[in-house]
Chain A
Amino acid sequence: MKINIKSLLISLTIGIAIFCSSCVDELKFGDSFLEKAPGVDVTLDSVFAKAENARYFLWDTYAKLYYGLPVYWNSVDNKMNMGMFETLSDTWHSHLSWDGVNRSYYNGTYNANREDTSDDTKFGFSKENTWEAIRKAWLFIENIDRVPDMQQTEKERLKAEAKVIIASRYFDMFRHFGGLPIIDKAYDFSLDESYYQTLRATVEQTVEFMTTLLDDASNVLPWALDEGEISNWDGRFTKAAAMGLKCKILLFAASPLFNDTEPYSTASPQDAVTNYSVWYGGYKPELWVETLKACEDFFREVNTQGRYGLVQPTAATPSAYREAFRKAYYTRGSGGDNPELLISTRVRYTYGDDYQWDYYFPQSVMNGAFTPTLEYVDMFPLSDGTPFDWNNPDHVDLIFSDRDPRLFETILVNNASYQGRQVELWIGGREAQQGPKTEQGQFATGFGLYKFILDFTSARNRPTLWPYLRIAEIHLIYAEALMMAGRTDEAIREVDKVRSRVGLNGLRGSNPNNDYGNQSILLEAILNERACELGFEDVRFFDLIRHKRAQDFKKVLHGLRIYRLDENGNVVEESWSDKPANERGPRPTEFRYEKFQLENSRRSWWTNFNSKWYLSAFPTLEVNKDYGLTQNPGW
């Protein structure tokens, strides 16, 4: 046997070379060569083995709460692809041709399939992180008791907060869909279909589920955060938040959409109607009694515990009224700096740039996603509370000067102060340019959004929030419940509390000819008040829905073309403020107003409205999963 020494040597060399090529690795073969799987650093057990981690888990659940403004390009925070469903109401119109409002609703092409394929419907059943938040909250509730290094009282408090999260996410869906599957635990993964059989609950069960969670939470939660806690922990749920949310939920449930002698729609399929998933099956006055009681309970607590109430003006001046109103909806510090705010949600602290990629709301505004309608502007009374009347030339003279302070805080109107000067919304003006004429862009209707964005510059670097619930709304909910109980004077007193905060006279004083004993007249007044007080806070659209106000959805809407006139009455389509001071002459004061019908784009609802639109469709494929979800009527 001759073995070549040379080849042996070479083999050896190669062996070494291969060994070296693996450098840092040990030489291993076979099974031991395969990598060990990474140790899972964190499991459910380890999250709940430590108080800090467990709290982290809940904080992340808070991050899945509803935030109304579109801010970011993901399926949740993008809302309706930069748009908001409030522009489906009569108070706002979207001139952003690519938002979901235009793409799916104004043109009438929305249908149940759209919920499968698109992220920009008004509220997707499976795309808004609602179920993720609910799962997280249940996981938290089911596991928090295992945490060794946490006081029982804190555990109970955190559990109660998790329950409010569940209730609020249920309500976010409830107002778009009606009754929902009741999910009362964190599900495991299974391929056994029967494990997931969960019939869609009735409206009644769904409401009871939410209110029970809130009642449980109210029994545990502190009424308000300790004064010292607010600066670090504002935003956490309190007893006041839970009780307030209950009022809001009950109002929605008691309203005619669900609580009437007949269902809101007779379109097929009717399964959800026959199963009472989209109504109570008849008119139940006790629902209003419940709502009233919730409000009474709430205000009783407010009276005894304090800390909350309407933000009151520091002086009886228009600017003080405006300041109080702005503070009420747009300042953090529930029960502290802002006694009015009950629930605020957040996605970040501040933003510093109108073009910030991860808080794009300013761009959404600039793109014309939220243009106020003339109908909305007209809802705001004069500064003393007298309703505005186009037929009264005195009123027209005061149109942009002597109105309800909330008009100027909600809507940017011509000549309002803006970035250190006066905004020019006349055709050819510095801001409006040709926008109102061609009906395009931010000022397509002759008005702009002011709430939340202010004059752009002053909203920057200001702590952001979404005013999920504030006491002004509870006063108006209380008013509606009182009205239903026939307690007209008390109802008017609640409305007047909200009016007087911005210096308006009371309802009766402002409208001597109205008979508020007539429920429908009082209801109009309350809804009008809600629209003015809670504009752009996701209220008007739901008011129209819960009162089944098809007439408001069919109402063709208008804008206002404002023409600047010179001393001879000729139209001047030019800016004034961008001219040199010595050339531009006196500040323009003469204007001609021309109402015009919105046509870019028209809403198919104006001609084709059908009551099926009150509630959204479930995604077709979700229904087809056959676990018990029934489709809403008409879809």
Chain B
Amino acid sequence: MHKLKVFIVGIVINLCCIMTYAQNRITGNVSDVNGESIIGASILEKGTTNGTVTDIDGNFTLNVSEGVTLQISYIGYTTQEVVVTGRPLTIILEEDTQTLDEVVVVAYGAQKKVTVTGAISSVSGSDLIKSPTGSIGNALAGKLTGVSTVQYSGEPGADAAEIYVRGVTTLNSSSPLVQVDGVERDFTQIDPNEIESITILKDASATAVFGVRGANGVILVTTKRGKEGKANISVTASTGITVPTRLLEFADSYQYASFYNEAQIRDGVNPNNVKFSPEMLTAFQTQSDPLLYPNMNWLDYILKDYAQQSQHNVNISGGNNFFRYFVSAGMYTQGGLFKTFDTGYDFNFDFKRYNYRANLDFNLSKSTELSLNIGGRVEDKNTPISAEDQNQLFRHLYWATPFSGAGIVDGKWIKTNPDVIPNPGSDGLNPYYGRGYNNKVGNTLNVDVQLKQKLDFITKGLSFNVKGSYNSSYAQTKSRSSSKAYYVAVKNDDGSMGYRKYGEDGTLGYGESFDKGRNWYFETSLNYNTTINSDHNLGVLLLYNQSKYYYPRTFTDLPKGYVGMVGRLTYDYLSKYMIEFNMGYNGSENFAPGKRYGFFPAGSIGWVVTEEPFMKEIKDYISYLKLRASYGVVGNDNTQDRRFMYIADPFYLDGSGYNFGTNVSGKRGGAYEGAKSNPDVTWEKAYKQNLGVDMYFLNDRLMTTFDIFKENRRDILVVPSSLPSYIGMSLPVLNNGIVHSRGYEITLRWDDKIGNDFRYWINPNLSFARNKIVEQMEVRPNEDYLWRTGKPINQPFGRKFWGFYDETANERYKTQFGRDIADHSVVLKNGDAVYVDINEDGVINDDDKIAMGYTNVPEYVVGANMGFEWKGFDLSMQWTGAWNTSRMLQETLREPLGDTNNKGLLLYQYEDRWTEETASTAKLPRASITSKANNIVDSDLYLVDAKYLRLKSLELGYNFNAPFMERMRLNSLRVYANGYNLLTFDVLKITDPESRTSDRPNYPLTRVFTVGLKLGF
């Protein structure tokens, strides 16, 4: 077969040679964007019949004169024109996204894009790879419509964004179903080099087949597979650095102490009795005695300027008519930002990931294909053991006061002597220093075996498919805890400095714990595709699947099981009129027998208007116009670890009991009643509608897609909070919640060339999604505007800040509202926050809160993907913006001095506070301790706009085309530099706009710069 091909190619080339013997002989190579050779691409001298095709290495030779134009074309790729210069030509063909044959991945299969009637968006792996982020999910927002993400953390190995498909749509978990190669799996730690494409299924038509699992949208990740042809080896290596996008800035010791004193004096404390004496203030300022009166910028002290990151991948793919393969090995490392000082062991954050994959396809016969996927990874993650618990490291770090310690001096960890500075708070080393580290090594293995058997012998177009998958994960966490002695500086009577030692240096302890996970999946299906009278295309899919998940969090001994039937019927007439019917029939043991099975149907229709004769005339302007509509029901049984809610009201015999007696150390046993169950409990249902238009203009150079959707989510599980407290029982959950949501998505794609060398593209998109709680069994609030029902899920509420109190405030307030400033429960002093009395009852309390701002999840996400290619250079950028999102500043970010008045003070809290001098420009209330109860309540003072526009990623590359490459047998050689989170434009300023501003702040988000080299053999 091979030989034959080569022979034919040879003959063609020879023929050409003969015909054009008088001309120059030029050579060239044709490959795709991934550097894979294209075999059989046609090379034609423009306007002539002089041409050739490429050989199995993608090479060609042709005799042409200099200056003529060659047309290079291949099915599925955009035709390119190149002017012959005499030098060898390197031609990279772009996949043609517009061809009618283009297929997209859909649930349980692939579909021709032209016949798709649902709402689907997808992105190729090669696009995603340009973002040097550890978790591929971080690159999705702005790349694809219908996806919003919030990346709260930059922690190595734990920086995956929260992903929402078409926003938050339910009061319970809104996380979408994620499948990798058709099986539910996590995708955040997959090597991006392994990914062929990611598809987002958004509407009912696309997701109904997932039944009780599909209501939150579905993310389908498809890994790469080998193509017939010679082996392509691709090697990528990159290295770079990560730096925090933004760190909180704290007040220094002097600022802190003066703020504190000012607060006390304003609160009525005698200036002679304030906490920080003038001597202390001077010492802070002059730093005359840094051991007794330190001034530390803790984040600066404990964090490095940058950490290192690297990413490497080798993959090889190819195959012949019996066997095709894609084999990949990758490694990703990211270091942490913490200095380790002299502890003698490495407790810094650190993450290493080793990914491997082999996707193999065997054509066992002409009609039988066997596929075997083995993919997996080893993750090695280091984290410092931190105070309280592992989620509170940064919370405690932000609590540190600048004078609470002097850091490490002469190898001694110095904390502030509380006899010198009373109640100094905790220092910045305390949350983690000397406490040891955890090292978690996890091993994940995914295996798929699939057999596709064509049953053409029964009827043409029928095929049978069976697939089994097994996933296992296992992790060992070694806990090496330790302790460290600290010292307190003491001034001796003779003025010399001594130290008092506390605690002992511990040795590293050893403890270990294990996590395990195991699940398997089985599916079998019949597929039938046929064309009747060459006009009617019919497709039928019938599929059965079942899956089992072991060690669930509740009822760990009872695995979770699902069974499902899937049906799909697609029909189109001349690819002009499409109709599609999808259905899922699912069972889950979480619900009572008799209520276990749900039927989820969805229907959709499509009409390609441009295929109609009457559109012929304007086809030059509108080259393609398709209208789509879908409606259907999808379910959601994600009950957040609650299982078997229907079984009889449970009681338990392992209660804490009671310590009777006079000298009995134990307790008498206890029995108690559990939460009431609900025998009628069932899953949530999402009724989804989608209308879409696809329009291409100007010979497909401008492509647009527009989708508008509505969703009615019903039967959401809620706890009936409207029942009296006096019944004293743990209430059951009921299917009584309703949430409505709606939104739209727009994609534009402009792709054009200027001249022959300059190709550029701009691909902006916009997604909008908004939800509204319609029913959640809420108790009537005192005022109508306090209803949470009717507002978006997690809508923030707060008081409306009016201004700062001063002598004229009442008068001004009265002019504005015609009434006195309301009773604020505290005696207002100058510089205190005055709030608007919303209900005009003369008292400021929680009834004066109004809905304000937005939630953490943005309603609008905008993306702009653009770039150009010129000669060997290419540049691509992804801008992502989000708006209609807010952050409520909490804890350290809001409350000066913290709840115990010896915690952190942010610089902005110091600088922006109200004083007599800054009254006109102040943004925050006066320094105070007693008035904090009034001044730091939830209000628009602390609800900040978290909109942002980000240069999420940028890649600049150069593809060499040099003679030495041939000697080195290199097909392609690319050097590039790229970055992640490079620029951020926002209004939040004090912290990264995506970061968590609650009382559980995370590791700072990072900016990444890398340089890389990519070789193709």
Question: Measuring CB to CB, which residues of chain A are less than 8 angstroms from any residue of chain B?
Answer: 1-4, 6-7, 10-11, 14-15, 17-18, 21-22, 25, 29-31, 33-38, 40-44, 46-47, 52-57, 59-60, 62-63, 97-98, 103-104, 106-114, 116-117, 125-126, 130-136, 139, 181, 183, 187, 189, 191, 196, 198, 230-236, 332-333, 336-337, 346-350, 433-435, 437-441, 463, 599-602, 604, 607-608, 619-622, 624-627, 629
**Would A97 and B644 count as touching, CB distance under 8 A?**
no
Q: Tell me, yes or no, whether B729 is within 8 Å of chain A by CB.
A: yes
**Would B731 and A189 count as touching, CB distance under 8 A?**
yes
Minimum Cβ distance to chain B for residue A28 (Å): 8
**Would B779 and A63 count as touching, CB distance under 8 A?**
no
Minimum Cβ distance to chain B for residue A54 (Å): 8
**Would B365 and A6 count as touching, CB distance under 8 A?**
yes
**Would B846 and A35 count as touching, CB distance under 8 A?**
no
Q: Tell me, yes or no, whether B558 is within 8 Å of chain A by CB.
A: yes
Instruction: Across the interface, name the chain B residue whose C-beta is closest to A34.
Output: B589
**Known interface pairs A36-B589, A112-B845, A622-B725; 6 further A-B residue pairs with C-beta atoms within 8 A, sorted by A's residue number:** A10-B368, A34-B596, A44-B673, A60-B655, A135-B727, A625-B779
Across-interface contacts of A625 in B (CB, < 8 A):
722-724, 779-780
| A232 touches which of B660, B900, B931 (Cβ 8 Å) | B660
**Would B728 and A438 count as touching, CB distance under 8 A?**
no
CB-CB under 8 A for A11 and B269, given A6-B368, A47-B651, A189-B732: no
Binary CB contact string for chain B from 667 to 689 against chain A (1 if under 8 A, 0 otherwise): 11111110010000000000000
CA distance A33 to B900 in the complex (A): 55
CA distance A279 to B843 in the complex (A): 27
CA distance A47 to B457 in the complex (A): 65
Across-interface contacts of A349 in B (CB, < 8 A):
659, 664-666
CB-CB under 8 A for A113 and B846, given A29-B544, A198-B726, A336-B662: yes
User: How many B residues touch A, CB cutoff 8 Å?
Assistant: 102
**Would B900 and A620 count as touching, CB distance under 8 A?**
no
Minimum Cβ distance to chain A for residue B805 (Å): 15
CA distance A37 to B595 in the complex (A): 13
Instruction: Across the interface, name the chain B residue whose C-beta is closest to A53.
Output: B671
Minimum Cβ distance to chain B for residue A603 (Å): 10
CA distance A423 to B616 in the complex (A): 101
**Would A63 and B657 count as touching, CB distance under 8 A?**
yes
Q: Tell me, yes or no, whether B782 is within 8 Å of chain A by CB.
A: yes
| B779 touches which of A31, A463, A624 (Cβ 8 Å) | A624
Across-interface contacts of B275 in A (CB, < 8 A):
438, 440
**Would A59 and B933 count as touching, CB distance under 8 A?**
no
Across-interface contacts of A233 in B (CB, < 8 A):
660-661
Across-interface contacts of B560 in A (CB, < 8 A):
35
**Would B457 and A136 count as touching, CB distance under 8 A?**
no
Q: Tell me, yes or no, whether B123 is within 8 Å of chain A by CB.
A: no
CA distance A607 to B520 in the complex (A): 70
**Would B651 and A4 count as touching, CB distance under 8 A?**
no
Binary CB contact string for chain B from 431 to 468 against chain A (1 if under 8 A, 0 otherwise): 00000000000000001010101000100000000101
**Would A10 and B650 count as touching, CB distance under 8 A?**
no
Q: Tell me, yes or no, whether B522 is within 8 Å of chain A by CB.
A: yes
Minimum Cβ distance to chain A for residue B124 (Å): 30
CB-CB under 8 A for A107 and B650, given A1-B457, A235-B659, A601-B930: no
**Would B725 and A47 count as touching, CB distance under 8 A?**
no
**Would A22 and B520 count as touching, CB distance under 8 A?**
yes
Across-interface contacts of A125 in B (CB, < 8 A):
725
Q: Tell me, yes or no, whether B367 is within 8 Å of chain A by CB.
A: yes
**Would A132 and B658 count as touching, CB distance under 8 A?**
no
Q: Tell me, yes or no, whether B470 is within 8 Å of chain A by CB.
A: yes
**Would A348 and B825 count as touching, CB distance under 8 A?**
no
Minimum Cβ distance to chain A for residue B609 (Å): 44
CB-CB under 8 A for A59 and B662, given A6-B368, A602-B268: no
Minimum Cβ distance to chain A for residue B432 (Å): 19
Q: Which B residues between 460 and 511 are near A, CB-CB below 8 angstroms?
A: 466, 468-470
Question: Measuring CB to CB, which residues of chain B are less than 8 angstroms from any residue of chain A?
Answer: 264, 267-270, 273-275, 364-365, 367-368, 370, 419, 422-423, 447, 449, 451, 453, 457, 466, 468-470, 520, 522, 544, 546, 548, 555, 558-563, 587-589, 596, 644, 646-653, 655-673, 676, 720-729, 731-732, 734, 779-782, 825-827, 843, 845-847, 899-901, 929-931, 933-934
CA distance A43 to B647 in the complex (A): 10
Across-interface contacts of B522 in A (CB, < 8 A):
18, 22
Across-interface contacts of A46 in B (CB, < 8 A):
651
CA distance A625 to B934 in the complex (A): 28
**Would B900 and A98 count as touching, CB distance under 8 A?**
yes
Instruction: Across the interface, name the chain A residue whose C-beta is closest to B937.
Output: A109
**Would B451 and A14 count as touching, CB distance under 8 A?**
yes
With most chain A CB atoms within 10 A of its CB, the pick from B370, B662, B847, B933 is B662
CA distance A126 to B721 in the complex (A): 12
**Would A235 and B934 count as touching, CB distance under 8 A?**
no
Across-interface contacts of B782 in A (CB, < 8 A):
620, 624
**Would B651 and A43 count as touching, CB distance under 8 A?**
yes
CA distance A295 to B423 in the complex (A): 49
Minimum Cβ distance to chain B for residue A309 (Å): 18
**Would B656 and A60 count as touching, CB distance under 8 A?**
yes
**Would A4 and B364 count as touching, CB distance under 8 A?**
yes
| A131 touches which of B665, B721, B726, B781 (Cβ 8 Å) | B726
Ranked nearest first, the 9 interchain pairs of A and B with the lowest CB-CB distance are A113-B846, A60-B670, A18-B468, A135-B728, A126-B725, A131-B728, A7-B368, A56-B671, A60-B655
CA distance A607 to B827 in the complex (A): 10
CA distance A626 to B726 in the complex (A): 13
CB-CB under 8 A for A348 and B365, given A189-B676, A601-B930, A625-B723: no
**Would B449 and A135 count as touching, CB distance under 8 A?**
no
| A56 touches which of B423, B561, B653, B676 (Cβ 8 Å) | B653
CA distance A350 to B644 in the complex (A): 39
**Would A601 and B267 count as touching, CB distance under 8 A?**
yes
**Would A43 and B648 count as touching, CB distance under 8 A?**
yes
**Would B729 and A189 count as touching, CB distance under 8 A?**
yes
Across-interface contacts of A134 in B (CB, < 8 A):
726, 728
Minimum Cβ distance to chain A for residue B488 (Å): 14
**Would B368 and A599 count as touching, CB distance under 8 A?**
no
Across-interface contacts of A107 in B (CB, < 8 A):
825-826, 930-931, 933-934
**Would B656 and A33 count as touching, CB distance under 8 A?**
no
**Would A37 and B644 count as touching, CB distance under 8 A?**
yes
**Would A187 and B727 count as touching, CB distance under 8 A?**
yes
Can you give 15 A-B contacts (C-beta < 8 A)? A7-B453, A10-B451, A21-B469, A30-B563, A35-B558, A53-B653, A59-B657, A108-B826, A113-B845, A133-B728, A347-B659, A349-B666, A441-B423, A608-B827, A625-B724
**Would A132 and B649 count as touching, CB distance under 8 A?**
no
With most chain B CB atoms within 10 A of its CB, the pick from A11, A42, A111, A433 is A42
Instruction: Across the interface, name the chain B residue whose C-beta is closest to A181.
Output: B726
Minimum Cβ distance to chain A for residue B736 (Å): 9
CA distance A607 to B268 in the complex (A): 14
| A108 touches which of B732, B825, B899 (Cβ 8 Å) | B825
Instruction: Across the interface, name the chain B residue whose C-beta is closest to A17.
Output: B449
CA distance A3 to B596 in the complex (A): 40
Across-interface contacts of A433 in B (CB, < 8 A):
419, 422
| A7 touches which of B269, B364, B729, B930 (Cβ 8 Å) | B364
**Would B934 and A33 count as touching, CB distance under 8 A?**
no
**Would B563 and A231 count as touching, CB distance under 8 A?**
no
**Would B563 and A7 count as touching, CB distance under 8 A?**
no
Instruction: Across the interface, name the chain A residue whose C-beta is closest to B670.
Output: A60
CB-CB under 8 A for A196 and B671, given A34-B563, A189-B732, A346-B659: no
**Would B653 and A43 count as touching, CB distance under 8 A?**
no
With most chain A CB atoms within 10 A of its CB, the pick from B559, B827, B930 is B930
Across-interface contacts of B419 in A (CB, < 8 A):
433
Instruction: Across the interface, name the chain A residue whose C-beta is closest to B672.
Output: A60
**Would B273 and A438 count as touching, CB distance under 8 A?**
yes
CA distance A434 to B555 in the complex (A): 56
CA distance A362 to B438 in the complex (A): 32
**Would A350 and B729 count as touching, CB distance under 8 A?**
no
Instruction: Across the interface, name the chain A residue whose C-beta is closest to B368.
Output: A7
Across-interface contacts of A624 in B (CB, < 8 A):
779-782
CA distance A15 to B370 in the complex (A): 12
